[in-house]
C-alpha cells in the first residue's frame, strides 16, 4: 500500500511538480515548493517506516517516528496555508466564489488528516491500530494527486474523484478480510471519517457562513 501511495502521488504531481521543468517553464511560488517538499517527505517517510517494520527494525522505526510526528505537525499549517494562498490568487484572478467555496476542501482535508495522525500517535503502542491509522491518514491526502490523474472517469461527476480515492480504503479492507477473516474496526470508523470529510466539503463550502469565514482567512 505504501508503494501504491507513492506511485499515486508521483503520477498525479509529475506534470506540475516533480517533472514540471519538462512541461511548464514558469516557476512555482515558494509556498507551493514548501508544500511539495513537506508533503512529499511524508510519503517517503511512510514508505520508509513500513520497510523498517517489515525488516523488524522496530527501534529505528520508533526513533524515526518522533521525526515523522514532528513532520505531521508541520504539514497541517503548511497545507492550510497553501490552500489559503492559492485561493487568494484565485480571488485576485476574479474567481472569488469558486475560491471561497473550494477553501473548505484543503482545510477539511487537514482536519481529517490531523485527527487520524493524532489517533495513530495515541495508539502507537498498539501496532494493529497504529499502522492502519497511519495508512488511513495517508490515504486521506490522496484526492489531490488523484484529481490530476489522466483518467476520463474523473470528469464524469463530482463524486468520481472520491470514489477512486476511496478504493484505497476498500483495498485495505479487502486485504484485512482476506488475511484475518474480519475487517479491523479502525477501517470502519476511520474510513467513515474520511468519507464524511469528503462529503461535507462542497455543501459546507457553498454556505454563506463559510464564505464569511473564508473571506477573513483569504483576506478579502
**Domain range annotation of the chain:** 2-218
SS3 142: coil
Its sign, for the CA torsion 158, 141, 26, 15, is negative
Give, for all 220 residues of the chain, the pLDDT tens digit: 999 999 999 999 999 999 987 876 788 899 999 999 999 999 999 999 999 999 999 999 999 999 999 999 999 999 999 999 999 999 988 899 999 999 999 999 999 999 999 999 999 999 999 999 999 999 999 999 999 999 999 888 888 999 999 999 999 999 999 999 999 999 999 999 999 999 999 999 999 999 999 999 998 5
Give pLDDT, residue 215: 93
| pLDDT at site 21 | 79
Residue 167 has φ and ψ, to the nearest 5°, of -60, -30
C-alpha cell at 173: 479492507
Helix then strand then coil, in percent of the chain rounded to 5, is: 80, 0, 20
Q: Is 192 exposed, middle or buried (0-12, 13-18, 19+ CB in 10 A)?
A: exposed
pLDDT at 220: 55
pLDDT of residue 73: 96
Give the integer Cα–Cα distance in Å for 119 and 151.
33
**What does the block give as the cell for 220?**
478579502
Look at the block and give the residue holding cell 470508523: 189
Amino acid at each position: 500500500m505504501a508503494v501504491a501511495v507513492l506511485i499515486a502521488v508521483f503520477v498525479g504531481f509529475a506534470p506540475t511538480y516533480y517533472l514540471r521543468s519538462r512541461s511548464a517553464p514558469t516557476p512555482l511560488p515558494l509556498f507551493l515548493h514548501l508544500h511539495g517538499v513537506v508533503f512529499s517527505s511524508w510519503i517517503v517517510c511512510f514508505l520508509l517506516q513500513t520497510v523498517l517494520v517489515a525488516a523488524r527494525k522496530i527501534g529505528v522505526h520508533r526513533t524515526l517516528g518522533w521525526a515523522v510526528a514532528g513532520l505531521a505537525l508541520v504539514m497541517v499549517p503548511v497545507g492550510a496555508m497553501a490552500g489559503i494562498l492559492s485561493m487568494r490568487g484565485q480571488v485576485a484572478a476574479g474567481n472569488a466564489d469558486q475560491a471561497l467555496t473550494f477553501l473548505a476542501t484543503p482545510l477539511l482535508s487537514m482536519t481529517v488528516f490531523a485527527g487520524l495522525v493524532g489517533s495513530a500517535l495515541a495508539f502507537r503502542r498498539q501496532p494493529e491500530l497504529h499502522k492502519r491509522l497511519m495508512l488511513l491518514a495517508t490515504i486521506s491526502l490522496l484526492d489531490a494527486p488523484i484529481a490530476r490523474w489522466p483518467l476520463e472517469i474523473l470528469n464524469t461527476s463530482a463524486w468520481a474523484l472520491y470514489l477512486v480515492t476511496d478504493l484505497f480504503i476498500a483495498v485495505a479492507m479487502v486485504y484485512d478480510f482476506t488475511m484475518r477473516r474480519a475487517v479491523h474496526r479502525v477501517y470502519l470508523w476511520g474510513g467513515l471519517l474520511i468519507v464524511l470529510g469528503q462529503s461535507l466539503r462542497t455543501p459546507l463550502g457553498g454556505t454563506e457562513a463559510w464564505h464569511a469565514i473564508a473571506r477573513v482567512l483569504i483576506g478579502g
